[in-house]
Structure 1
Amino acid sequence: MFPGQERVRYLPWLMSMVACALTQDAAYWNTHAQETLKKMMGQKHNTNVAKNVILFLGDGLGISTVTASRIYKGQLQGQTGEENVMAYEKFAYTGLIKTYNTDQQVPDSAGTGTAFLCGVKAKAGTLGLDDIAEYSNCTSQHGAEVTSILNWSKKEGKSTGIVTTTRVTHATPAAAYAHAAARGWEGDTELGTEEVEGGCRDIAYQLVMNNSDVNVILGGGRRYFLSENKTDPELNATSRYQRADLDLVDEWTKDKIDRNSSHRYVWNNEQFSAVDPEKTDHLLGLFESSHMQYEHARNTG
């Protein structure tokens, strides 16, 4: 038996387990199974062509993480947790994938981001390249470049965008647009002499200078876009990561002006809320110097 204080703490849990035992008997589960089967077998196949596609890519969102999230969500609602259902678990179709890199069993998000967004398995730490490329070898990436869902969508005449809670130059989002033998080459300050002389460009440069048609870019990572001569508007200081070559926010803005394209650059919520999407063809939002803050740490006032 539990001690007195522990008995009080565990009493609600024990009562809920008793309630489950009383109400969820064999008939409950048999009926539940039949209803689920009928619902799945009775649905009509959607053969229409999708007008829009939004790909949500949860970095590290494996079965164990989903299970923990499902239980926690249910417990917040006063349930025991396991019986809860996440919204995407109600989708008509679900599937499982094998997640690995070609050179290691436990993968990183650069190689897996390339697999998700480009359809090609790759080595750990490499972005937008096939297995020919060697990690951190600049010359090996030339000729190993692969295209992504971003490129495919543009060829179909669609508008495209990247929205992330990380730096926009971080591995997972960067797999959509960059070709880099090392995921760490996020800014020019991260490249060595060998990479520069080998003709490799940093990831932030590739986003702005080689992917100017991307309509929406939202996330963190200002430090890799601002020149070393600019003060970060939020930090009121400069960062050692800021660029020594050029200011990519200025370059992005100049490109849109030259193309007579309506555009907005924003770095805080007030500016973002003032954006009129009907009058904005291109939007760049860099809301943090590095990654976006976790929800519990955000200043929502």
Structure 2
Amino acid sequence: MIFKKKILCLSLGLGLLAGCSDDSITQQKTNPWFEQGQAQLKAALKRENNENKAKNVIVFVGDGNGIASVTATRIFKGQIDGGDGEEFQLSYEHFPHMALSKTYNTNAQTPDSAGTATAIMTGIKTKMGLISVNDSIDRGDCQAALKNHAATLMELAELDGRSTGVVTTTRITHATPASTYAHSADRNFEDDSKLSAHDKEAGCKDIAQQLIEFSYGDGIEVAMGGGRRHFLPSNVSGPEGKFGKRRDQRNLIEEWQEKHPDGRYVWNQKGFDKVDPKETDKLFGLFNSSHMEYELDREKDQGGEPSLAEMTDKAIDILSKNDDGFFLLVEGGRIDHAHHAGNAKRALTDGIAMADAVEMAMRKTDKEDTLIIVTADHSHTFVIQGYSYRGNPILGLAQGIDKKGRPANTPNLALDGKPYTTLSYANGPGAHSHGPRPHATEEQAQSHDYKQQALIPLESETHAGEDVAIYARGPWAHLFNGVVEQNYIFHAINHAAELDAER
């Protein structure tokens, strides 16, 4: 018995010389953190692998939502809900399986969204800027791209008789959503204005055109996002007053409506709310001329825009009518844009919006037959630092701990005698190349438009190159473990859903 007690003391980290008594053991075992750890262990021990066929697959991509971004979003959401924040869990952080994804492109140590999205959607890595084509071609060579397409999960799902959808807060023609349905030598070929007459004659098609002319299976059932300008002629203005960009003067919105007379095209919240999923088999939504609004600004949109969760909700309702299942990509795309702008508050708010969309998908699907994956395409130069006390406002000034281990209630000071924020960037528009560093106040740091201070002055903050997380729930989710190449995500999905990657 004495020997067992000594072993227990050692296993609890108390040590034989630390006065490991029955009372100390009892106190440790009844400590809430100890109990929490035990509960988590018991849940892990009960976990069983689900090897059912994945009837449905939903892939969430938080564009630029690296691990530091997820952590800050978690704390921000927890603090909004009235807690300290650090102990909070976002919807997808409850998923039982996860892995780390290596995000580099074949020609880039720090990647872009075109190459990373292509890896996820096609199972091959490619060059920066290329969309769902292999890396044998040069960027911009659209004629070479015509012969080097890589099949996407959306195409394979359509050929398998499933319904498909893509939902994003960016332009629907932007790199990540485009990777599901288009093949392009340049992510910037969003409309025909970037293609030469010679390229058009050779058969090159812009990304918007490829969406409208997508011909696999019975076509895409749901496509929602921004980017109206790429579907309208340059001499035609949309309902919010902004002109299109197409030089061929084709109105692709009208062409879609002619192709799908029973489908619904919507451009604002009012039209979206009127869509009855039971009576709608095809839905096309373009809610802004360019990108949709940040979640923080959505209520100010001229025509009104649905949230990412609302779009996810309606998309699942429409796609679920197919007894053979569905594939859906949902992108929280503007997390990335806010980070590029050095504006953490909008990045974290959009991160919460994506977590809400994941929660919606969790509620509306069965984990026994639906594989949900949440990941990021890449990260940003975003960091959490400064030895702040637990519960310190994540968007505020870094405030430390006194000698007794209690909140100091005064901002930490740098060597220049000025405070600094808990969140910052390695580079970006928040840097100051001339003059002294600004003296930020708590009010400024937590304002909507505050740009976190950065080290290297750049007009736009850059992506970062470290691994990002993959969270998975549902059939074959246990395939996601360890450190994997980003293109592995395709192969795990293909196995779980029993698609035919050789078609």
Structure 1 length normalisation: TM-score? Answer: 0.84
The answer to whether the 8 A contact 1:226-1:243 is kept is: no
Instruction: Please tell me the residue identity of whatever aligns with 1:225.
Output: F
The answer to whether the 8 A contact 1:103-1:123 is kept is: yes
Of 214, 238, 242, which residue of structure 1 is paired with 2:243? Answer: 238
Counterpart CA distance in 1 for 2:117 and 2:140 is 17
Of 107, 117, 120, which residue of structure 1 is paired with 2:124? Answer: 120
Match of 2:296 in 1: 296
Q: Which of the pair is proportionally richer in helix?
A: 1
Counterpart CA distance in 2 for 1:242 and 1:222 is 11
Instruction: Please tell me the residue identity of whatever aligns with 2:44.
Output: M
Within-5 A mapping of 1:36-47: 36-47=40-51
Counterpart CA distance in 2 for 1:72 and 1:193 is 50
Instruction: Give the SS at the match of 1:96.
Output: strand
Match of 1:35 in 2: 39
Instruction: Please tell me the residue identity of whatever aligns with 1:295.
Output: E
Counterpart CA distance in 2 for 1:96 and 1:53 is 20
Within-5 A mapping of 1:1-301: 27-211=31-215, 213-235=219-241, 237-239=242-244, 241-257=245-261, 262-299=262-299
The answer to whether the 8 A contact 2:233-2:243 is kept is: no
| Aligned-pair CA distance for 1:54 | 1.5
1:237-295, Cα deviation, whole Å (9 max, x unpaired): 424x13424111111111124xxxx2111111111111121111111111100000012
Counterpart CA distance in 1 for 2:34 and 2:273 is 50
Instruction: Give the SS at the match of 1:180.
Output: coil
The answer to whether the 8 A contact 2:231-2:253 is kept is: yes
| Aligned-pair CA distance for 1:167 | 0.5
| Aligned-pair CA distance for 1:298 | 1.9
Structure with greater contact order relative to length (CA < 8 Å, sep ≥ 6): 2
Counterpart CA distance in 2 for 1:242 and 1:199 is 17
Instruction: Give the SS at the match of 1:97.
Output: strand
Q: Which runs of 5+ in 1 are unaligned?
A: 1-23
Alpha carbon RMSD of aligned pairs, Å? 2.0
The answer to whether the 8 A contact 1:129-1:179 is kept is: yes
The answer to whether the 8 A contact 1:118-1:128 is kept is: yes
The answer to whether the 8 A contact 1:149-1:176 is kept is: yes
Counterpart CA distance in 2 for 1:290 and 1:189 is 15
Residues 219 and 256 of structure 1, relative CA distance in 2, 3 Å threshold: same
| Aligned-pair CA distance for 1:197 | 4.1
Counterpart CA distance in 1 for 2:90 and 2:150 is 34
Q: Which of the pair is proportionally richer in strand?
A: 2
For structure 1, which segment, 285-294 or 131-140, has the greater mean C-alpha deviation from structure 2 after superposition? 131-140
| Aligned-pair CA distance for 1:67 | 1.2
The percentage of aligned residue pairs carrying the same residue is 45
Instruction: Give the SS at the match of 1:290.
Output: coil
The answer to whether the 8 A contact 1:138-1:198 is kept is: no
Structure 2 length normalisation: TM-score? Answer: 0.52
Instruction: Please tell me the residue identity of whatever aligns with 2:299.
Output: N
Instruction: Give the SS at the match of 2:170.
Output: strand
| Aligned-pair CA distance for 1:78 | 3.2
| Aligned-pair CA distance for 1:194 | 4.6
1:100-119, Cα deviation, whole Å (9 max, x unpaired): 10000100000001011111
Instruction: Please tell me the residue identity of whatever aligns with 2:58.
Output: I
